[in-house]
Structure formats: structure tokens, C-alpha cells
Amino acid sequence: MIPRIYIPGDSGALALGAEKVAKTIAKELAERGIEAKIVRNGSRGAYFLEPMVEVATAEGRVAYGPVKPSDVKSLFDSGFLKGGHHKRWLGAPDKIPFLAKQTRLTFARCGINDPLSLDAYKSLGGLKGLQNAVAMAPLDIVKQVTESGLRGRGGAGFPTGIKWKTVLDTAGDRKYIVCNADEGDSATFADRMIMEGDPFVLIEGMAIAGIATGATKGFVYIRSEYPHAVATMNRAVQVARKAGVLGTNVLGSPNAFDMEIRVGAGAYVCGEETSLLNSLEGKRGVVRAKPPLPAIQGLFGKPTVINNVISLASVPIIMDKGAAFYKDYGMGRSRGTIPIQIAGNVKHGGLFEAAFGMTLGEIVDEIGGGTATGRPVKAVQVGGPLGAYFPRALFDTPFDYEAFAAKDGLIGHAGITVFDDTADMLKQARFAMEFCAIESCGKCTPCRIGSTRGVETIDRLAAGIEPEKNLALVTDLCNTMKFGSLCALGGFTPYPVMSSITHFPEDFKPAPARVAAE
């Protein structure tokens, strides 16, 4: 058997030099006259170990990382093709603590094999869910997804099965499945990782959604900042079509389902579902008022399921192993697993899929290992640019939709950004307003005007101008934005702003006092 070397082609790994490592390994193989196959897999998500190179040995996979091009010669000298010891040696990848501690359901296959090999996908349980689904009545599929307790992983947490039921019950000559892959929140990369590392699981999930609701056409709307995900998804759709996973007879059944990959154009607000639908239709990505719900009048006015990548990618395992299996994980009304993305100033950054219920402190301190700079953690922003900043005092909050809401926060798309004690929370609050101003679609006044006035008011605070009055003004403005905006952009921008003010009041003291305090 010729040796197999796995070098990730995931953008995170590429950003850390995986391409140079792959080229150096190929060159070294040629120079030494060794025959070996290089497989470009996805990433397993332990980015602090990327580029993580794996070799298949008689005893199973052995990982090395983070590998630099300068390590390659010595890796060969240490006999890494047989799992030999080296300073970058990590042992069996699934025994690496960061990976061993996870519960991988949605990401079970991500990063293990060539993402475009349908055979590899099937060898690890792929397509079983779809096979079950094609033999079931649509209502039974919807029931199974509903019973699993799966809620929208994009951030809103709406029960997926209930959304599907509305589309199933709504008559339409044409229905659509739209996958929201406009993953614009800072600290999030789960959608990108699965599209680059296990694209067939998303395709399978969308096909199941189509069969369950009577939709025959799907769109994946991917942000333009993800060129690698776009390329992988396009190629995976072609492979799936050729293999009969997509087409007029899905897996040989009478069900038709096909899909297209579409690319966004750099507008953050298009991650909001109605704005995304307008963008897909070729319009300005302006938010639509609800009702009508997209499930009733969505894309081109037709009944439409619009779900996040991770929601759809979690469906195959539910249809394979059953609702009870999935529901068994989690806490309270948050069932199943959630891919937590640990980002920013953190020692062990990466994707950590776990059942709901871990505390924020466990995630940041134990899994994340504290800050990368080694300084104390000051704040953690949970849920992207629209999520609240949590201080250490709230580290006992369990990762659960309701628990975060109870502490005036949100889990959103489950990205967390760690900041050390050099962070200036006034600056972060100002950025939240500034970002909202840059990205506002302009439809509603609280968001469009409020964000700009918010920046100006925080600037006055920073300059020490009438601090009490301006602090009251920001608070009042946040209240207007929260309750008066049409969508989550204007409506949730108050979360990072108000949480900064509430939990870090010392950073909002007038400038002279701040200087004196230092």
C-alpha cells in the first residue's frame, strides 16, 4: 500500500501555510524517490495545530502539527510516513485532547477525508439519512426533525421542524430550500469549515429538506469572502448530480431536487434571511417586513425554507440515527450539539462541537486555554458583532439559548471572541455602532440613523463631554434601536454596546478620570 499523507486544504490551514507545506512535502517525496499519495482533506478545526499533517499507518492515523515547511526534511528523517517520533508529533488525531473531548455529530466527518470523495463520505455513514428520508412520507420527516428539538443554528434558534411544517402545509406550484451561508459574524467559521471540509452533508441535508417540504430547488447563498467554500460547494454539487444524489430522481426515488450555489457581494446584512432573499432575487439586500413569513411568501414569493448551514447539516444525522438520539444531547430547550467557535485572543482557538450546557468559563479557560497573549481575560463577546460582551463574573453561564438570553446576551451562531485586559470596552462599543452604520441596509430609521448618532454620542463620552447626559442618551438610543428596528442588525447592536456599559463601567468614565486612574 502506498503511504497516504493528509494535508488540509481548508482556508484556515491555508492561511497558516498549508499550501507551502504541501508543496515542500511533494518536492521531498520526489527528491527521495518515495511514492505516496497526498490527500487534501478539510480541517478538523484545531487551528492552533494547523497546518496539521496526518499520515495513515497500519496502526491508524498519526498527526503532526503545526507543521512548517522547515520541518518537512526532519519529518522524513524521523520516518513520519510510519508514524515516527518528531517534535511535531501529536499521535492519533482523535486522541488529541481538544478533539477527544468533543461530541462530533454534525462535524463527524469534517476534516478526515477528501471532501469531494463521495465514496469516503458514504464510508463514514454519509447518505444514510437521505436514504431513510426518500422512503418516508414528508410529514414523517418533518415530525422527526421537530422531535429532535433542532433549532436554527444561524442565531435565532427557531425550531427547524416547525418552519418546515409551515412550508409543507403551504400550497405552492414551486417551493425553495435556501441555505444561508452568509456567515458574516466575526468569530464564526463553522459554516465555512463544513462547506470546505464535508460539503456533501449540507447537500444531503438540503435534499432531505426538499423532500420533506415538497421543494424541488435549492440555493446556497455563500458570502464572497469565502472563495474556497464556493469552489468546493460548486464541485460537490457536480459530483452529487453525477451520482444521482441530486437530480430528477434523488437516490433513485421519484423525488426531484437540484441546487445552485450563489455568491453574495460583501453585504453583512444579507445574513438576515429576508435581505438574503432579496439579494438572491437580484435586488438590493434590503430587509423585508414580516409577515409574510418566508415560509409562506419567500424567494420569488414562493413558500421557502431558509435555514443556516449548520441547521441543514445537522439534519442527516437526525434522519440516520433518529430524533431521540439527537435530542438526548443538550440541556433545557437547547437540544443536540452546537459547534462552538473559539476565536480571537485565545491559546487553543478552533471549532469545538459539544452538547449544549458547557459553561462559558469551561469553554474559554479549559478548552481555549486562556488568552494567546498570556494576559488575563477581560471580556468575551459571544454571538458575533451583535452579541454581548461577558465579563469573567458571568463565566458560569451555561451555553444554552435561554441561559444567555437571561443574562442579556445571545449565543447567536456560537462564535466567541476572547479579549485580554488591554481591551478598551468603550472602543468596542463604538465599533459596534460604527459597524451597524457601515452595514445598515437603510430601510428603518433606528438602525440607519441611530447607529451614526450612536458613534457620535460615544465619541462625546470618550472626550469627556457631559458624560452623564451622554451615557443616558446612548442608553435611550439603544432602547429605541432594540425595539424599533426591523431586523437583528439594528435590534441587536445594543447588546455589545449596553453589555460594555453595564459590565465595564470603568471604561466609560470621562477621559481625564480615565487617565488619572491609570
Partner 1 sequence: MTMQPASTEIASRTAAIVQELKDLEGPLLPILHGIQEEFGHVPHDALPVIADGLNLSRAEVHGVVTFYHDFRAKPAGRHVLKLCQAEACQSMGSDAVAAKIKQLLGIGFHETTRDGSVTLEPVYCLGLCACSPSAMLDGEVIGRLDDEKIEEIVAEVRS
Our CA dihedral for 278, 207, 159, 224, rounded to 10 degrees, sits at -40
279 touches partner 1 by CB under 8 A? yes
76 touches partner 1 by CB under 8 A? no
Q: Do residues 215 and 167 lie in contact, with contact meaning Cβ atoms separated by under 8 Å?
A: yes
48 touches partner 1 by CB under 8 A? yes
- To partner 1, the closest distance from the beta carbon of 299 in angstroms equals 8
User: 3-class DSSP state for residue 99?
Assistant: helix
- To partner 1, the closest distance from the beta carbon of 439 in angstroms equals 7
349 touches partner 1 by CB under 8 A? yes
**Residue 232 — left, alpha, or beta (φ > 0 → left; ψ -120 to 50 → alpha)?**
alpha
431 touches partner 1 by CB under 8 A? yes
16 touches partner 1 by CB under 8 A? yes
186 touches partner 1 by CB under 8 A? yes
Stretch that binds partner 1, among 158-166, 317-325, 406-414, 423-431 (CB under 8 A): 423-431
Phi, psi of 286 (to 5 degrees): -95, 140
In the bound state with partner 1, the residue whose beta carbon lies nearer, of 121 and 435, is 435
Q: Do residues 480 and 453 lie in contact, with contact meaning Cβ atoms separated by under 8 Å?
A: no
In the bound state with partner 1, the residue whose beta carbon lies nearer, of 81 and 187, is 187
> What track of x and - describes contact with partner 1 for positions 152 through 171 (by CB under 8 A)?
--------------------
> What track of x and - describes contact with partner 1 for positions 203 through 222 (by CB under 8 A)?
--------------x-----
How far is residue 252's CA from residue 234's CA, in Å, rounded to a whole number?
Answer: 22
Among 250, 439, 482, 495, binds partner 1 (CB under 8 A): 439
Stretch that binds partner 1, among 42-50, 127-135, 448-456, 498-506 (CB under 8 A): 42-50
Residue 370: how many other CB atoms lie within 10 Å: 18
Among 9, 298, 344, 491, binds partner 1 (CB under 8 A): 344
Listed as own residue / partner, the contacts of 84-87 with beta carbons closer than 8 Å and 24 or more positions apart are none
How far is residue 278's CA from residue 196's CA, in Å, rounded to a whole number?
Answer: 26
- To partner 1, the closest distance from the beta carbon of 66 in angstroms equals 10
Q: First vs last Cα of the chain: how many Å apart?
A: 65
Give the C-alpha distances (Å, rounded to integers) separating 261 from 56, 160, 277, 373.
33, 22, 14, 39
Among 417, 485, 493, 499, binds partner 1 (CB under 8 A): 417
415 touches partner 1 by CB under 8 A? yes
How far is residue 263's CA from residue 226's CA, in Å, rounded to a whole number?
Answer: 9
Q: Which residues pair with 319 in a beta bridge?
A: none
Note the helical H segments in 54-173: 72-77, 97-100, 118-123, 128-134, 138-147, 160-169
- To partner 1, the closest distance from the beta carbon of 8 in angstroms equals 12
Among 41, 308, 337, 428, binds partner 1 (CB under 8 A): 428
In the bound state with partner 1, the residue whose beta carbon lies nearer, of 48 and 401, is 48
183 touches partner 1 by CB under 8 A? yes
The beta-strand segments (E) located in 145-291 are: 176-181, 217-222, 258-263
The beta-strand segments (E) located in 169-316 are: 176-181, 217-222, 258-263, 304-308
In the bound state with partner 1, the residue whose beta carbon lies nearer, of 423 and 433, is 423
Among 177, 305, 340, 343, binds partner 1 (CB under 8 A): 343
In the bound state with partner 1, the residue whose beta carbon lies nearer, of 335 and 378, is 378
User: 3-class DSSP state for residue 370?
Assistant: coil
The grid coordinates of residue 372 equal 494567546
226 touches partner 1 by CB under 8 A? yes
User: 3-class DSSP state for residue 15?
Assistant: helix
The grid coordinates of residue 22 equal 504541501
In the bound state with partner 1, the residue whose beta carbon lies nearer, of 62 and 269, is 269
Query: How many chain residues interact with partner 1 (CB under 8 A)?
Result: 66
376 touches partner 1 by CB under 8 A? no
107 touches partner 1 by CB under 8 A? no
Stretch that binds partner 1, among 80-88, 97-105, 290-298, 346-354 (CB under 8 A): 346-354
265 touches partner 1 by CB under 8 A? yes
469 touches partner 1 by CB under 8 A? no
11 touches partner 1 by CB under 8 A? yes
Sign of CA dihedral 466, 471, 474, 475: negative
192 touches partner 1 by CB under 8 A? yes
How far is residue 24's CA from residue 163's CA, in Å, rounded to a whole number?
Answer: 49
How far is residue 405's CA from residue 387's CA, in Å, rounded to a whole number?
Answer: 10
Q: What is the CA radius of gyration of the chain?
A: 24
Give the C-alpha distances (Å, rounded to integers) separating 509 from 388, 430, 464, 465, 478.
20, 14, 8, 11, 19
Residue 195: how many other CB atoms lie within 10 Å: 31
- To partner 1, the closest distance from the beta carbon of 15 in angstroms equals 3
486 touches partner 1 by CB under 8 A? no
> What track of x and - describes contact with partner 1 for positions 289 through 318 (by CB under 8 A)?
----------xx------------------
Phi, psi of 180 (to 5 degrees): -85, 100
185 touches partner 1 by CB under 8 A? yes
Beta-strand pair 53-57/4-6: antiparallel
504 touches partner 1 by CB under 8 A? no
In the bound state with partner 1, the residue whose beta carbon lies nearer, of 31 and 260, is 260
Chain positions contacting partner 1, by CB under 8 A: 11-12, 14-16, 47-48, 50, 183-189, 191-192, 217, 224-228, 260, 262-268, 279-286, 299-300, 341-346, 349-351, 372, 381, 384-385, 415, 417-420, 423, 428, 431, 435, 438-439, 441
